[in-house]
Amino acid sequence: MDSPRRYPRKGRSLEDWTPRDLAPSVWTLLTADLTAGADPEGAVTKARSAVAAHERQEKRDTKLAPIEHRITTGLGALANKVRNGAITHPEFKDRGTDVLRTGIHEGMKAGAEQAAEEEDVPVDLTADSRYGEWIFGEADALTNGQQRYLVGVLEDITAEEPEMGDEGGDEGDEEEGDDEEESEGDSLDARFALYGAQAVAAFETGYLATSIAAGGDDSQQYVIRHTDMSGDPCSLCLDRDGKAYTTDTLPGIPGAGGFGATCMGGPRCRCHLEVVDDIGDAEMGVPGDGVDFPGAAEAFAASLDFGE
């Protein structure tokens, strides 16, 4: 969408303009703005940034789909093994944690690689590079934060064992699920899919840490939050779309922290972050808790010193 010929010009009607590269939702947004009498230049700038956000989102989806799939199916397979007694509960916890750690590590590396590619700097993410080690440590910390939920999964598997359906087990404790109509199997699958979506926060963490580390300390860097309009964003994400933050004020990383933390959709957040030196016309967003990546810049710089 870089060629000016693709934008409507003054005095030409919209119909003359073919929206070749526009996602339908972006096209709807643009025509709605123009119909409502918005300044065409502003409306096009807005549409252009919406296209960029959508493309970035699709790129992330493509990279994360196989990773999410491995987490989801990996945990599902382990749940089956618990059900038929092939593995014990502690083994489920250990192996489930390994599945998660691997997926989160892969997601984080994918984000780091994309940032390095955009910043046009080399990045060494192998286990014996300083930065590869730093990324692994971060992935491990994120995994540990999730591990306790695997205990909850085990409890649910144990609860479903009598196979009596919802009516059968009137033993008092079973009421917690708020009368969910879906079977335990369905709700477990949904939970495994949410574990798969942990790769999103991992990706954005790797992306942000690497973008900042690659930018060096020479200038103040800002982080602009973007949402993908085609993803039906929640009010939190919509409100923060296009707003600028510093690392000290950024209200969390997309997908991280659970439901309602940075997004009502929790790990399914379809927002991403952009690191810039200059915020242009962007407004500063309402400050949040900020993010911190201790040791990332040093590890990144050290991993660039090849041949030492």
Identify residues 162-201 at the interface with Zn ion (CB under 5 A).
none
- How many other CB atoms sit within 10 Å of the CB of residue 102? 16
Kindly tell me which residue out of 29, 104, 142, 237 binds Zn ion, with binding defined by CB under 5 A.
237
Contact range with Zn ion by CB under 5 A, out of 67-75, 176-184, 228-236, 291-299: 228-236
Who contacts 121 (Cβ-Cβ below 8 Å, separation ≥6)?
Answer: 214, 304
SS3 letters across 33-66: HHHCCCCHHHHHHHHHHHHHHHHHHHHHHHHHHH
Q: Rounded to an integer, what distance in angstroms lies between the CA atom of residue 237 and that of residue 141? A: 25
- Select 64 or 237, whichever has its Cβ closest to Zn ion: 237
- Select 125 or 291, whichever has its Cβ closest to Zn ion: 291
Q: At closest approach, how far in Å is the CB of 251 from Zn ion?
A: 11
Q: At closest approach, how far in Å is the CB of 216 from Zn ion?
A: 28
Please state the separation of Cα 32 from the chain's center in Å.
29
- Select 191 or 225, whichever has its Cβ closest to Zn ion: 225
The count of chain residues that interact with Zn ion, using the rule CB under 5 A, is 6
Residue type, 264: M
Across 224-259, b (16+ Cβ under 10 Å) vs e yields bbbbbbbbebbebbeebbbbbbebebbbbbbbbbee
- Select 259 or 293, whichever has its Cβ closest to Zn ion: 259
Residue written as tokens 């790769």?
A: 199
Q: At closest approach, how far in Å is the CB of 33 from Zn ion?
A: 21
* Dihedral in degrees, nearest 10, Cα atoms 199, 200, 206, 207: 150
Using alpha carbons, list the distances in angstroms from residue 167 to 158, 184, 251.
17, 13, 43
Kindly tell me which residue out of 75, 208, 269, 296 binds Zn ion, with binding defined by CB under 5 A.
269
Kindly tell me which residue out of 47, 53, 153, 271 binds Zn ion, with binding defined by CB under 5 A.
271
Q: At closest approach, how far in Å is the CB of 233 from Zn ion?
A: 5
263: contact with Zn ion by CB under 5 A: yes
Contact range with Zn ion by CB under 5 A, out of 41-49, 177-185, 259-267, 298-306: 259-267
Q: At closest approach, how far in Å is the CB of 145 from Zn ion?
A: 19
234: contact with Zn ion by CB under 5 A: yes
Contact range with Zn ion by CB under 5 A, out of 7-15, 43-51, 171-179, 263-271: 263-271
- Select 96 or 242, whichever has its Cβ closest to Zn ion: 242
* Dihedral in degrees, nearest 10, Cα atoms 22, 23, 25, 26: -30
Q: Rounded to an integer, what distance in angstroms lies between the CA atom of residue 302 and that of residue 308? A: 9
Residue type, 58: E
Contact range with Zn ion by CB under 5 A, out of 120-128, 129-137, 211-219, 255-263: 255-263
Q: Where do contacts with Zn ion occur on this chain (CB under 5 A)?
A: 234, 237, 263, 265, 269, 271
